[in-house]
Amino acid sequence: MRIPVNLASEPFRRDRPMLVASTAVGLLLVLSLAALVWLAWWERSAAAETRAALAQLEARLARLNAEQAQLEATLRRPENAEVIDKVAFINSLLYRKGISWTKIFADLEQVVPHNVRLVSVRPQVNARNQIVLDMVVGAASQGPVIEMLKRLESSPVFGATAVHSSLPPAQTEPLFRYRISVNYVQKL
């Protein structure tokens, strides 16, 4: 039987694997530090370029805002007010003239059921330059009109609908009558 006895003043230790591993980890940490420093420098230069481009755009925006303010001041002069009113009036007339009745009826044909009668249609342009159709429709019962309202709201051409009034059948008019307004998106 052998008993290992070390009688030396400093016992033998196996430190070499620990030193090699520590050195490898240290080198890995130094390399990652170098990579992080390089990434920080690169991000800083990219941010500087972005700040320079942003400063150029802000300067351009300031010039455009100053030019717009100058043009608006010219338009607000009393001698130009009459011309501006005429231009606004003519533009509104041209916009209303651009509404195509043929297109309105072609789009309505897609959504109005066969048993709903279109009594009247009146296109209007609201303050936001949107076309609103004010319609009066009639049907023998309420079901077809409800179906028409569902089709109008699900159509990509028509928007929100509102029923303003309804009249039951009378001796002179045998149909249920509804006054409906619907947003209409016509490409002019």
Instruction: State the pLDDT at residue 99.
Output: 78
Q: Which of 143, 132, 139 has the alpha carbon at shortest distance from 178?
A: 139
Pair (110, 175) in one structural domain? yes
DSSP secondary structure letters along the chain: -------SSS-----HHHHHHHHHHHHHHHHHHHHHHHHHHHHHHHHHHHHHHHHHHHHHHHHHHHHHHHHHHHHTSHHHHHHHHHHHHHHHHHHHHT--HHHHHHHHHHHS-TTEEEEEEEEEE-TTS-EEEEEEEEESSHHHHHHHHHHHHH-SSEEEEEEEEEE---SS--SEEEEEEEEE----
Is 107 part of a structural domain of the chain? yes
Cα separation of 119 and 176, whole Å? 11
Q: Residues near 186 by Cβ (< 8 Å), separated by ≥ 6?
A: 99, 100, 103, 104, 107, 131, 157
Here the CATH number for the domain that contains residue 165 is: 3.30.70.2830
Identify whether 5 is part of a domain.
no
Residue 136 belongs to some domain of the structure? yes
Parent domain of 164: 100-184
Same domain, 26 and 63: yes
Compute the half-sphere exposure of residue 167: CA atoms within 13 Å on the CB side of its CA. 12
Distance, CA of 93 to CA of 6 (rounded, Å):
111
Residues 104 and 180 in one domain: yes
- What pLDDT sits at residue 7? 64
pLDDT at site 57:
96
Q: Are residues 113 and 180 in the same domain?
A: yes
Total domains in the fold of the chain = 2
pLDDT at 125: 78
- Which pLDDT score, from 0 to 100, does residue 179 have? 93
Quick check: pTM over 0.85?
no
Q: Give the model's pLDDT for residue 68.
A: 94
Please identify every stretch of the chain with a pLDDT value under 70, giving residue numbers as ranges: 1, 5-12, 187-188
Residue the block writes with tokens 């240290």 = 26
Say what the pLDDT of residue 8 is. Answer: 65
Q: Which two tokens stand for residue 106?
A: 């072609």
Last residue within a domain, chosen from 76, 108, 124: 76
